[in-house]
Amino acid sequence: MPSFRAPRGTRDLLPAERPGWARLERLAAELAARYGYREIETPLFEQSDVFERGVGETTDIVEKELFRLAPRAEDRETWALRPEATAGIVRAFIQHGMQTWPQPVKLTLTGPMFRYDRPQAGRYRQFWQWDVEAIGDAGPAVDAELVELGLRFYRDAGLPDVDVLLNSIGDPACRPAYVAELTAYYRSIADELPELERRRLETNPLRLLDSKEPAMGNINLDAPKITDRLCGPCAEHFAAVRAHLDALGISYRIEPALVRGLDYYTRTAFEFYRRGAEGQQQALGGGGRYDGLVELLGGRPTPGIGFALGLDRVILALEETGRPPVPEPRPIAIVCGADPAATAERLRVATELRAAGLPVRAELGRRKLGRQLEAAVKEGARFAVILGDELAAGEVQLRDLHAASQRPVALADLAALLHRKTPPTGG
């Protein structure tokens, strides 16, 4: 039994697993660039207020899941690991004067997020998201663009059967009256509410709509629906979003109970689910509009919309659907030697081949040639470059480990020959 293990709720991504993640990261980066989104990196931790004000003090993330860092005595600020990317990106947008840039500012980030969540299948305390934000565009066309971008990512990743759930949660003009009506409805049946939801009713009644408590299912069927109570501008915006999705041929289902879990959302909200796998813990990702967040964090009023797609969920879904894993990169050749002690020669030849752009490993241990060749076969290399006495004349022996054949090759021609034999990369 090892003395030390990865912290509870985290895991190591081993070499056999990492290529699948790298493939998703490449796909996200390529799609983001194609759609005009520019990469940004923000710190893994921020002032706690960035999340408390931006995400919302009464959300589960802040109340129960925020990873707070213990401050030293001399620190005047409190810090927390980022539970999501949007608040930090908006903080950077304000801090670096991006409101003076051509609008909208389209940004993307891929990286780890942290929540002190109860570990369970598909949910980790350190998890990875692809985040996309368009700040400075009031929509509705950009809303539809983001939904289409998310669907394209899932399709290109190997998950074609992904459904879109869509809703509008209004804005400060119409939502307060709806929240008051919703609160009155829940208070009229307060005795039927689970204890947690009775407490939430006094702080964030919208969260009862996406409650994970089984008893809330039937209760929420009769709850007032926000889509029936939108003000004129919100209803107009929601209709325009749907019209743009229709123009793109994107099917969706309107889900009045979809409110998303963060306080900063307004108007458009959407989530992605695998077909037939809906449920509170099954969303692959989602997003929505946050037209008040920039102002909330100290900037000028600026509209915005974005999404976060969970890479952990995509990997799990791909495994469940039986997609073959992405193979580990293999060296095209292993540089071996008849003289076990001639490690400098093997290293020099391997270095020259690597400089030519080839994936090559050198045998740097002092073991016999037979053992070197056995290791090359186990490692999955196609060729063994064997150095012997003919190296003085500028030649090596090239052994094809698949065909079990061997022939002399001029060292000057070796890189070009191996390039012709190297399979194309891609995922």
pLDDT digits (tens, 9 = 90+) for 2-61: 788 988 888 999 998 999 999 999 999 999 999 999 999 999 999 988 888 766 554 555
- What is the C-alpha separation between 223 and 86, in angstroms, rounded? 30
Global model pTM greater than 0.85: yes
Does domain 18-174+230-320 match CATH 3.40.50.300?
A: no
Domains 18-174+230-320 and 333-421 agree in fold = no
Domain parsing of the chain, residue ranges: 18-174+230-320, 333-421
Residue ranges, the chain, pLDDT below 70: 54-64, 119-122, 260-264, 277-281, 424-427
User: pLDDT at position 58, please?
Assistant: 46
**CATH superfamily name and code, 333-421:** Anticodon-binding domain (3.40.50.800)
Q: Please state the separation of Cα 206 from the chain's center in Å.
A: 26
